[in-house]
Structure 1
Amino acid sequence: METMNILADKTLIIFDWDGTLMDSIGLIVESMHIAGEAHGFHTTDQAVKDIIGLSLLTGIDILYPDATDEQKLAIQHSYSDYYIPNSHRTPLFIHIEEMLQTLQNQGKQLAVATGKKRRGLDRVLDASDSHHYFSVTRCADESESKPDPQMLNDILKQTQKQIADAVFIGDSIYDIQMANKLGMTSIAVDYGTATHEDLAAQHPTYQVDTPQGLCNLLCIQ
């Protein structure tokens, strides 16, 4: 009951996108392999998962430190060239749309803070017909990359909410680190990029292992 009472007071629910709301991790990994290998660079599935949540160029810097600036830009373009026409393969996780509807009906204000660029987020919001759920969205090309908390600060300012009013939900260590920098309540989800152990090491306020578990935690009756 104590958990439910604490979350009942939260009027602003901020979500990461990839791996938290949308089942896009597989396509991101596939796209990065194809993009890197097109320019002579190789990496592992886990290495790609570890940079999800960061801005794309920041992630490419980490994955391919020996690449020149020109090569990194070429990898970014190749990534987009593959990801965009295949983005129809990335649905919302099961139960997520029902959760968003319930939270909206309960009067919660919903927002997104993502490592995607604005054009990329708008594209998947259109594809999933979910624009109307979110009053505020913030992207990597409008802010400092996670785990810098600028995205969250911008959302708080735009919604005129305080840190204590909000909860942030994400699937990467960068998400939880970002919330921790502000002392914001956080929920780590284990079904995205990071392992349960890696997320637990960041000391999220709560941790769930399935989309249904997230729904059960947030959608207080």
Structure 2
Amino acid sequence: MSDANHNANAQSNVHTLANKSLIIFDWDGTLMDSVGLIVESMHVAGEAHGFTTTDDAVKGIIGLSLTIGIDILYPNASQAQKDAICDSYADYYIANSHQTPFFDGIDTMLQTLRAQNKTLAVATGKKRRGLQRVLDATDAHHYFAITRCADESGSKPDPQMLSDILAHTGASVADAVFIGDSIYDIQMANRLGMSSIAVNYGTASAADLAGEQPTYQLDTPQALIEALTAA
């Protein structure tokens, strides 16, 4: 199936999402427009310790835990250098995190979903302290019944984060859909047999996401908002 046909099929069948009572979101590149800052922060951190990489390489590790991503980007660095890169990345990202708003309409979408009695959750490659910081900054804690991070449940595509969320909420795999912008997001959902929505506006290309065979694939934040809130 071509990417265009896959996307058209997904959008035509997306009304079935109304039956999902548990909606689980990735964070970076899915809810929050943070990919640009992530790439910039990694360049600054790597170069501060004598290492360079490319934009595409950084985008390719978004969704993984930070430590695994740094291992992939800088395989020749010593452990001490990797630790220093990690610290420099965190320092730069935190100092500039005011640059990372929700995508347009996302906050209203979350409000609407809660009003529709949907249970919302987050499964992210961020560390707990990083997620806590952005939840505080966006005043978004109250939307989510549970949030899980890579340093609590393992890095994507390990599905433990999703399993933890299912256990906490009492929902079944059939009740849930997971939404993400990286191939690791879709791989994680597929490992549990969970429905997934790949969004094409984050880190991975539409073609790469389609190759992971998500249940649905949508091009824009507005398309996602319309699909999830159509009740």
User: Above 0.5 in TM-score?
Assistant: yes
User: Which of 192, 216, 221 is the matching residue for 1:211?
Assistant: 221
| Identity value in percent | 71
Corresponding residue number in structure 1 for 2:14: 3
Separation (CA, whole Å) in 2 of partners of 1:118 and 1:194: 24
Which segments of 5 or more consecutive residues in structure 1 lack a partner in the other structure? Answer: none
Q: Which residue of 1 aligns with 2:78?
A: 68
The match for 2:169 among 127, 152, 159 is 159
Give the Å deviation of 1:3. 3.3
TM-score using structure 1 length: 0.98
Q: What CA RMSD, in Å, does the superposition of the two structures yield over aligned residues?
A: 0.8
- Mapped pair 1:38 → 2:83: no
Tell me the residue number matched to 2:116: 106
Uncovered stretches (5+) of structure 2, i.e. residues with no partner: 1-11
TM-score by length of 2: 0.94
Question: What is the match of residue 145 of structure 1?
Answer: 155
> What secondary structure, in the 3-state scheme, does the structure 2 residue paired with 1:28 have?
helix
What is the one-letter code of the residue matched to 1:125? L
- The code of the aligned residue for 1:41 comes to F
Q: How does 1:166-185 map to 2 (within 5 A)?
A: 166-185=176-195
Q: Supply the distance in 2 between the matched residues of 1:159 and 1:187 (Cα, whole angstroms).
A: 20
Shift of 1:7: 1.1
How many angstroms does 1:2 deviate by?
4.9
Cα distance in 2 for residues equivalent to 1:132 and 1:218: 19
* Equivalent residue letter for 2:147: T
Count of residues in Structure 1 that have an aligned counterpart in Structure 2 = 220
Amino acid at match of 1:3: V
Q: Deviations over 1:122-159 (max 9, x none)?
A: 10011011111001000011011000000000000011
Deviations 1:88-131 (A, max 9, x none): 11000001011111110000000000000000001001101111
Q: Within 5 Å, which residues of 2 pair with 1:90-105?
A: 90-105=100-115
Partner secondary structure for residue 32 of structure 1: helix
SS at structure 1 position matched to 2:96: helix
